[in-house]
Amino acid sequence: MLRRLIIFIFCFLLGLVLGLGGPWVWWLDREAGQRFAERQWTQNSRVFARPLELYNGRVISLDDLLVELDAAGIRPGHPGQVGRFSQRGQALDIHLPGFVFADGPQPAIRIGLGVVDGRVQGLARADSGNAGLVRVPPAELGALLPIDDSERTLVALADFPPLLVAGVQAVEDRSFKHHRGLDPRGLMRAAWTNFRHGQVVQGGSTITQQLVKNLFLSPDRSLVRKFNEAVMALSLERRYDKALILEAYLNEVYLGQDGPNAIHGFGRASEYYFGLPIQALAPEQIALLIGMVRGASWYHPVRNPERALSRRDRVLDMFLETGLIDAATHADSRGRSLDVNIQRQRRDQRYGAFLDLVARQLRQDYRERDLSGTGLRVHTTLSPSAQRRAERALTEGLVKVERQPGELQGAIILLEPASGEIRALVGDRQPDRRGFNRALDARRQVGSVIKPFVYLLALAQPDRFHLVSTLRDAPLSIPVAGSEPWQPRNYDGASHGDVALMEALARSLNQATVALGLEVGLTPLFRLLRQLGVEPGKDPHPSAFLGAIDLSPLQVAQLYQPLAAEGYNTALRAINQVTDAGGSELARYPMRIRPIRDREALALLDFALREAVTSGTAASLSWRLPADIGARGKTGTTNDRRDAWFVGYTRDWLGVVWTGRDDNAPAAISGSATALPIWAELFSGLPVSSGARPWPEGIDWYWIDWPSPLLASEDCAGARALPFIADSQPGLYSACMNAADPPSGNRRWWQR
């Protein structure tokens, strides 16, 4: 009877186990396979600077090159190691990490070069000696809109250092290559070791089991979970190959917290703890991270340094035991300190203002959902060295001119005019502070910065105006519907009578400019601004001729771009290309240019803005700059000295500087005394190429009895050679001309 009962109970339990357990195992198996296949780590969209191109003759200062290397994560050290460089005087030996560029990958290479007189020389590869053109991998500027609470930098298995891949196996799961997900012998060994030490010093879980636990299961320790873990581990091993499992593990393993965010994977951990890409880690650094797998918080190198150090040394011992490192390396590594360099602040902060613009330009083309979490790689136009210079110029410049510390704010935009690519952007005098981005969002009156466009409209009518047309600088009163008549005054309070058009612009005379503005019209001015890509608002008041229009520094930069780019308009860009996490192209933002119709008028305007720098309101540039860099520019100061602007350009760069108070109160500042010195400080450090601006066809040069609109000859006292759109030159001769010596007319520029 009892026996039958026992048999019955046994059969019942067996049936229960088979009936419930069978489907349960089947379900676990299916689940593990599916979920592993579908797993998609949310990965931050990563943003990169423009890569620095190196070639012989490239203009760059040694300081800037070092800034670029630092930004790219390449540190001083032994260049035998990837990601390190050494310096001897002006000679550098650099081991560049590999990078997948838009037009193909560049493997890690070691190069040597010198910087002599501000130019790269003797560029050579350590392997072949030959190097025409080499790119420094771009600096990573930060991540876009992180949405979840984990941080990852995915790394492909092949890109992990071999010591890390082998080391993880040596420490965590020595028979990983051979087992099928579970390792009974390892389990036994662990149990024995733990028994001997009287505490848990070794885990018996295989790498596969740990991965399963991390990916799918809750962290509680129970028999049911152990069972599930084992089934799913067997299942993964049956379905996927070892390399895939190991790669997933290396990218998934938990390695600590960065504030509220969990750090997953060795890629991100390397960046967080050492500020280095994983490929650049030394053996003792790899050992530290591997040691932390056992307990990222227990072995935390900052909170528990002693425990971390002894764990690291234990890992180094295991490296030696398994033959991964030799005795010399082992001794050397053990002798080193922990040397962590936590990059608590993600780089987003540093380049926050620029990333702001990148995010806005991306949002025009992508949905928010696609932008975050899918691991886009955004290749931008920023130059870290130019950015550094711009930040310093603003911060230090404001300190020099403000009445009380912290009173003034400012913004800088720096770009390459021909391509419209933005190289630097500063939106706050404290560049790492996030918040109001003045470069994009401060809409302030532009003052005289608008004047060149009034003059451009005039010069585009060569039958009416040229550079020596006479303008009247005198008091004037303009009736305005519904309010008092408007009576513009000059900056110095005086009126200057008859002046040449070019002089009126160079000296920024208000009354002469308004008189000219009334000739060319307010509607055409607004139409021109719109054509150049800027919306000036809807309220056309004649004070707009003097810049009573609110624009952001970015908009001002857009207005001046075609002027600086010799007559070719292009949209300002912060992004070159967007790829997915694997490097395939999703979007490209190519250089697109549009010729401005009145390129001749633009060339004359350029000449006049050169005059502003040599003898007008911006004349102080000549002593503020170390050399003549061929600058052209325009100052701007608004009513009650609330805003100070300087917009200036050379053949290579266009820079906009704005300063003022956030509350828009009078600040006792001016374009020439406040904004211009900041611009000069920035531009005195930028690389310059020499050479003259090409004149468009259809420009002729004439000797003029300056400042009268009369033809003269070279021999006349004070005569100047000026450019004219063909057939627009004055028709009258100066009295200094001898009737017996008629002007030769139509003299071309080399005859000046």
Q: Closest CB to another protein among 233 and 596?
A: 596
Q: Does 53 bind another protein (CB under 8 A)?
A: yes
Q: Does 220 bind another protein (CB under 8 A)?
A: no
Nearest distance in Å: CB 53, another protein: 6
Q: Closest CB to another protein among 292 and 596?
A: 596
Q: Tell me which DSSP letter residue 129 carries.
A: S
Q: Site mask, another protein, residues 410-449, x = CB under 8 A?
A: ------x-xx-x----------------------------
Q: Residue 282 burial (CB < 10 Å; 0-12/13-18/19+)? A: buried
Distance of CA 94 to the CA centre of its chain: 22
Pick the binder of another protein from 103, 220, 663, 741 (CB under 8 A): 103
CB 524: neighbour CB atoms within 10 A? 14
Q: Does 26 bind another protein (CB under 8 A)?
A: no
Nearest distance in Å: CB 121, another protein: 13
Q: Which stretch binds another protein (CB under 8 A): 190-198, 486-494, 594-602, 623-631?
A: 594-602
CA angle 459, 465, 466 (to 5 degrees): 75
Nearest distance in Å: CB 41, another protein: 29
Q: Does 522 bind another protein (CB under 8 A)?
A: no
Pick the binder of another protein from 595, 666, 742, 745 (CB under 8 A): 595
Q: Does 748 bind another protein (CB under 8 A)?
A: yes
* Cβ 370 vs Cβ 444: under 8 Å: no
Q: How far is 52 from 139, CA to CA, in rounded Å?
A: 9
Which residues 632-651 are close enough to bind another protein by CB under 8 A?
none
Q: Does 533 bind another protein (CB under 8 A)?
A: no
Q: Does 127 bind another protein (CB under 8 A)?
A: no
Q: Does 697 bind another protein (CB under 8 A)?
A: yes
Pick the binder of another protein from 34, 622, 689, 744 (CB under 8 A): 689
Q: Tell me which DSSP letter residue 573 carries.
A: B
Q: Does 566 bind another protein (CB under 8 A)?
A: yes
Q: Does 591 bind another protein (CB under 8 A)?
A: yes
Sequence-distant (6+) residues with CB within 8 A of 532 are 453, 558, 559, 561, 562, 569
Catalytic residue check, 419: no
Q: How far is 382 from 138, CA to CA, in rounded Å?
A: 10
- Alpha-carbon dihedral 141, 145, 151, 156, rounded to 10 degrees: -60
Catalytic residue check, 172: yes
Q: Does 593 bind another protein (CB under 8 A)?
A: yes
Q: How far is 94 from 83, CA to CA, in rounded Å?
A: 8
Pick the binder of another protein from 91, 102, 124, 668 (CB under 8 A): 102
Q: Does 10 bind another protein (CB under 8 A)?
A: no
Strands 261-264, 150-151: parallel, antiparallel or unpaired by DSSP?
Answer: parallel
Q: Tell me which DSSP letter residue 652 carries.
A: S
Active-site hit among 270, 333, 372, 448: 448
Pick the binder of another protein from 2, 4, 5, 57 (CB under 8 A): 57
Run of H or E residues at 17:
none
Which residues are bridge partners to 587 per DSSP? 578
Nearest distance in Å: CB 127, another protein: 17
- Give the up-direction half-sphere exposure of residue 351: CA atoms within 13 A in the CB hemisphere: 31
Strands 421-426, 497-500: parallel, antiparallel or unpaired by DSSP?
Answer: unpaired
**707 prior amide bond cis, ω within 30:** yes
- The tokens 């203009």 sit on which residue? 59
Q: Closest Cα to residue 229, out of 256, 200, 207, 252?
A: 207
Q: Does 224 bind another protein (CB under 8 A)?
A: no
Q: Two tokens at 320?
A: 């030696």
Active-site hit among 68, 140, 172, 421: 172
179: helix, strand or coil: coil
Q: Closest CB to another protein among 134 and 371?
A: 134
Q: Please list the active-site residues.
A: 172, 448
Residue ranges binding another protein (CB under 8 A): 53, 55-58, 102-103, 132-133, 416, 418-419, 421, 566-568, 588, 590-595, 599, 689-692, 694, 696-697, 748, 750
